[in-house]
A and B are shown apart, each in its own frame.
Chain A
Amino acid sequence: MGKPTDLVQGTLDLLILRTISLEPMNGWAIAKRIVQVSGNVLQVQQGSLYPALHRLEHQGWIKAEWKNSENRRRAKFYALTAAGRKRLKSEVDNWYRLSNAIGLVIETI
């Protein structure tokens, strides 16, 4: 069972970037989506998403905009920037390389 502290920082970044790569989303929706898509395996302590979101925003990988959400309340929606899209691609590549390597090690031994 993955708890937030078990999520390597880089991994959380990757999850966030991947989640909002389809459409702009607010923090609540991102948290829900990660839990839902991972089949309840990745239980993120929801509040801890925000420091990561703010850091990614500060670094210019994602940008934020205040919009009305589905329940007509104002929410902060995050979307990938052009730089963020490139970053996501390289992060995904990295992830596959790393997990393949680990997989190889595990299978060989």
Chain B
Amino acid sequence: MPWVAVIRNTLRSLFKRRQLEVELHEEFEYHLQHEIEANLRAGMPPDEARLAALRLIGPISLQQEECRDSRGVAFFETSLRDVRYAARMLRRTPLFTAAAIVTLALGIGANTTVFTFVENILLRRLPVREPHRLAFLNRDGIVNVSYPTYLDLRDRNGVFSHLAAYRFVPVSMSVQLRENCRVWGYEASGNYFDELGIQPFLGRFFGPAEDDQPGANAVVVISHRLWRDRFASDPNVLGRQVKLNGYPFTVVGVSAAGFTGTELILSADYWVPLSMVAAIEPGSDWLRSRSAQNLWALGRLKPGVLQSQAEADLNRIAQDLAGVYPDILDRKTRFHLSTPGLLGQALRGPITTFGLVLTGIGALVLLLACVNLAGMLTARSSDRRREVGIRLALGAGKLRLFRQLMTESLLLALSGAATGFALAFGACRIFSSWHLALDIPFETAIRPNARVLCFTAAVAFATTLLFGLLPTLQTLRTDLIPSLKNAPGTRLRGWGVRDLIVTGQIALSVSSSSVPSWSCAACSARLTSNWASNPPTPFRPLSICACKAMIHSGAAPSTMRSSPRSPRFQECAPLVSSTIFPSGSVRTAPPLCVRTAPHHHHRKGERPSFIKSRRVI
């Protein structure tokens, strides 16, 4: 079949309906007149001529209807008619329609929100070249390796085209004199950007050559966001000096806007070569320590290499290493590769479980909505028996009526889905605007996208079947005669569809309301039992707050250690009645506990005013 012509004709049938209709009548009229004229010429009287012509042609309106059907768009036209009729029917019962749409909107909205979460966090790939070939290295439930081990893995493996390592650390960044901001970013191996195969927005990324000499290349790549917010989108940012923990670095590049590092939910603002660790973390020497497992490793599989082959190769290297360093690596060590983006299995595992639980709850809510709606429609179907009866009596086909009633359900579902999508959009905005009260830049922004929209549409169609099918079939089982008499019909049978629906509804409601309360009870029981077995030190939490002073300065560690007691910190003294400094390395910035002065209570999450008002460091 010449498809171009078919498509052209279909479009013409769709959009030039009026013209085609006129032509159709004109064509039959021409035929009729021609035939009549021929008959007149043959000597028939006018009346006879017309009747003979009509007899010869046959039932004109039936034939015209067949012509319309043969245009190939009967399906669309019927659907359009059905939708109009359905809209009229739904408008006639506004309360029912509103209730149905709200029910569906809640169910579909909940599922769309959950799917947005799953899609944005679990199904999203890193914005890099061929992300499916990237694999994150997990080892016996932990995700970290030490730098020397990383070097061994990198140099001895035969399965990765690149194997990069990186670490997410906070620094105090000073763009201008006496102005610091705390930002998080990566110390990354030199092959990091080569492995990802991405392009910078400005300037360049650093390469392996800038990572081979410790302390030699003080270069930094900044994120697009940092460039916009801290550098006012300065086009001449390349070559500028910034201080990271007091050590001067040169900006060599700005990453593209969509790239915030290789962990989806942690957004990085800078990248420096791993060889600069000593500059950023003064006094640390973990690059040479096999026991300091500070790095995450991310490999790009060579084309055609399977995950299992790569794991076998890594395990072989681990075996060798275990022979040399038995105190670091166990002979039973097994490597396991996972999709990158969520700290390997460390976050992907729990988040997947969480996502599954949410999906389950969402599905339950939707199922409940469908059952509710099916109940409402069944009640409505007994009101509509008469209408259906009349239409059946007038010769409507059951299939045709089925289609009409299902169109009504579909229209309801689509309206509900549209409202639900709007709800989900709002829910996602609320979720995105929520920031964890943590020091780490968690990326919680989730946004519905085209895939989510497709999901919502699919859910709408599925719900149509779920809530519309049974009531529709029941309506169509109408017995003609009792329905026309408006008699109760076949309602005295034992167990009908309606009873099943009610039973299902009760079961679902009970389970959906009891499962969360059981979970809450279990959680709270667990908390109290822990509380009972390990009672916390008895203290009055009122007016105590934990605050964290970042004392990165690049100065000698001894100075840093004394700095909390420095004169400037003491300026806060009038407001602070006592301070507890946990022991330990100051480099890792442990939280300090401060007891504010008695009159100086603060609400949870609010920073005490003395921290706001004074620059401690």
Contacts and interface: CB of A to CB of B under 8 A. Distances in A.
A57 B70 CA distance: 9
B42 to A, nearest CB: 13
The majority secondary structure among interface residues of chain B is helix
B30 A57 contact: no
Interface string A39-59: 000000111101110110111
A69 B67 CA distance: 22
A107 to B, nearest CB: 36
Interface residues of A, number: 29
A46 B66 contact: no
Interface in B23-37: 23, 26-28, 30-31, 33-35, 37
Interface in A40-83: 45-48, 50-52, 54-55, 57-61, 63, 66, 69, 71, 73-76, 81, 83
Interface stretch (B52-60, B304-312, B392-400, B577-585): B52-60
A102 to B, nearest CB: 27
Contacts of A26: 30
A26 B34 CA distance: 11
A26 B23 CA distance: 13
Nearest to B4: A60
19 contacts: A27-B31, A45-B57, A46-B31, A47-B63, A48-B63, A50-B63, A50-B66, A50-B67, A51-B63, A51-B66, A54-B71, A58-B13, A59-B1, A60-B3, A61-B2, A73-B30, A75-B30, A76-B27, A83-B2
Contacts of B27: 27, 50, 75-76
Contacts of B10: 58
Contacts of B37: 71
Interface residues of B, number: 32
A60 B6 contact: yes
Given A47-B60, A51-B70, A74-B30, A83 B5 contact: yes
Interface of B: 1-6, 9-10, 13, 23, 26-28, 30-31, 33-35, 37, 56-60, 63-64, 66-67, 69-72
A24 B247 CA distance: 89
A28 interface: yes
Nearest to B72: A58
A60 B66 contact: no
Nearest to A76: B27
Contact of B58 (A48, A61, A75, A76): A48
Contact of B67 (A51, A66, A74): A51
B463 to A, nearest CB: 35
Contacts of A52: 70
Nearest to B68: A54
B29 to A, nearest CB: 9
Nearest to A43: B56
Task: Return the 6 tightest CB-CB contacts between A and B, nearest first.
Answer: A60-B5, A51-B66, A55-B70, A60-B2, A47-B58, A47-B63
